[in-house]
């Protein structure tokens, strides 16, 4: 079973999807990690992040891996046979500020979307939660469970501020609003598409958010069993 989850920065998609996947015995594919790794790779190769051809050239030569269960581990081989562990590097604030520049290119998105579908198809897991910005609409529009996770900008900034030492709430709020605005030029992750369930986590704690997703998946599993 495929569970598609989208949402803006700090809505809880990654952490909630991971915990829900664990409870369900499913894998988890964090698609943002690939865009982050691509931005990291572009900087590492001194490529122009705004030039789609330069970014596509990296996709032609790199080898990207990500774990679908257990602790997340992400590696990038830039073509020289060395698999760099970028798990921590791609979470750095500097990388977050650059990702929208590589994710804005339509051919880059097409290539990564094909990679995401391949990773899921080859996983041989009973289910995979796949989370990002355009999973419910572009990557897996036919997924039996599709969720848009939201929270107010202030709540999202508060959650992120807890992770980013040294930045004020105002700085974090300004950063995520700027990134969301740039990302939203390419994909709409603020309004649920037809058939997508909205989960607003503004007034939910972490456990309640996880439970909301697990409940939606269990209801879909029951409905599928009944129709068999
Ligand atoms: N419902 C929630 N209530 C409180 N904290 C949450 C909730 N959901 C997520 N968090 C915390 O907020 C932070 C950002 O969540 P994350 O999953 O990284 O968001 P996203 O992937 O949407 O950017 C994490 O530290 C996470 O533990
Ligand atoms: N499906 C996706 C996932 C991420 N992204 C891009 O990757 C960036 C990082 O995504 P992320 O999910 O790791 O970001 P957070 O919401 O965790 O901060 C986003 O700001 C988008 O630019 C995307 O364009 N499409």
- CATH number of the domain where residue 175 is located: 3.40.50.300
Q: How many domains does the chain have?
A: 2
73 and 147 belong to one structural domain: no
132 and 21 belong to one structural domain: yes
Q: Report how far ligand 1's centroid is from the alpha carbon of 80 (Å).
A: 36
42 and 134 belong to one structural domain: no
Q: Residue 10 CA: which ligand is closest?
A: 1
137 and 120 belong to one structural domain: no
74 and 154 belong to one structural domain: no
Cβ burial of 125 (10 Å; 0-12, 13-18, 19+) is middle
76 and 121 belong to one structural domain: yes
Q: Residue 179 CA: which ligand is closest?
A: 2
Q: Return the bridge partners of 131, or none.
A: 5, 30
User: Using DSSP, how many helices (H) and how many strands (E) does the chain show?
Assistant: 9, 8
Q: Residue 163 CA: which ligand is closest?
A: 1
> Of the candidates 102, 125, 148, which is a domain's last residue?
125
> Using one digit for the tens of pLDDT, what is the confidence trace for 38-58?
999 999 999 999 999 999 999
149 and 81 belong to one structural domain: no
Under the banding of pLDDT at 50, 70 and 90, the label for residue 110 is very high
Residue 163 has pLDDT above 80, yes or no: no
Output DSSP code: residue 90.
G
51 and 14 belong to one structural domain: no
Residue 165 has pLDDT above 80, yes or no: no
Query: Is position 123 annotated in a ligand binding site?
Result: no
- Domain extent, residue 155, equals 1-26+127-228
Atom of ligand 2 at shortest distance to CA of 7?
16
182: left (phi over 0), alpha (psi -120 to 50) or beta: alpha
Cβ burial of 74 (10 Å; 0-12, 13-18, 19+) is buried
ipTM over 0.85: yes
5 and 76 belong to one structural domain: no
Q: What is the DSSP string of 129-162?
A: EEEESSIIIII-TT-SEEEEEE--HHHHHHHHHT
> Of the candidates 125, 153, 175, which is a domain's last residue?
125
Show contacts of 81-88: CB within 8 Å, 24+ apart. Answer: 86/37, 86/40
19 and 38 belong to one structural domain: no
54: left (phi over 0), alpha (psi -120 to 50) or beta: alpha
Report if pTM > 0.80.
yes
CA distance 221 to 97: 38
> Of the candidates 82, 107, 125, which is a domain's last residue?
125
Check if the beta carbon of residue 117 is closer than 8 Å to that of residue 4. no
Which residues surround ligand 1 with Cβ inside 6 Å? 7, 9-16, 159-160, 162-163, 201, 204-206, 209
Token pair belonging to 161:
């501020």
Which residue out of 32, 129, 160 has the highest number of ligand 2 atoms within 8 Å of its CB and is therefore the one to mutate? 32
165 and 76 belong to one structural domain: no
132 and 182 belong to one structural domain: yes
Burial 175-214 (b: 16+ CB within 10 A, else e): bbeebbeebeeebebeebeeebbebbbeebeeeebbbbbb
**In the chain, pLDDT over 90 holds for what percent of residues?**
88
> Using one digit for the tens of pLDDT, what is the confidence trace for 118-159?
999 999 899 999 999 999 999 999 999 999 999 999 999 999
Token pair belonging to 40:
């990291």
Under the banding of pLDDT at 50, 70 and 90, the label for residue 99 is very high
């Amino acid at each position: 079973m495929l569970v598609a989850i989208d949402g803006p920065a700090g809505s809880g998609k990654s952490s909630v999807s991971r915990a829900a996947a664990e409870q369900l015995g499913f894998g988890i594919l964090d698609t943002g990690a690939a865009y982050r790794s691509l931005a990291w790779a572009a900087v590492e190769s001194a490529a122009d992040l705004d030039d789609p051809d330069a970014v596509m050239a990296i996709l032609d030569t790199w080898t990207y891996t990500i774990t679908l269960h257990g602790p997340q581990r992400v590696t990038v081989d830039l073509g020289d046979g060395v698999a760099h562990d970028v798990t921590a590097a791609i979470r750095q604030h500097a990388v977050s500020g650059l990702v929208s520049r590589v994710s804005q290119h339509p051919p880059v998105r097409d290539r990564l979307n094909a990679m995401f579908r391949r990773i899921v198809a080859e996983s041989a897991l009973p289910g995979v939660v796949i989370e990002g910005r355009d999973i419910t609409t572009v990557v897996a529009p036919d997924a039996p469970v599709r969720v848009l996770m939201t929270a107010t900008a202030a709540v999202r900034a508060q959650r992120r501020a807890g992770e980013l030492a040294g930045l004020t709430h105002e700085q974090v709020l300004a950063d995520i609003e700027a990134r969301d605005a740039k990302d939203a030029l390419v994909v709409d992750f603020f309004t649920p598409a037809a058939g997508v369930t909205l989960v607003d986590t503004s007034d939910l704690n972490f456990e309640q958010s996880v439970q909301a997703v697990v409940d939606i998946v269990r209801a879909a599993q029951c409905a599928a069993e009944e129709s068999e």
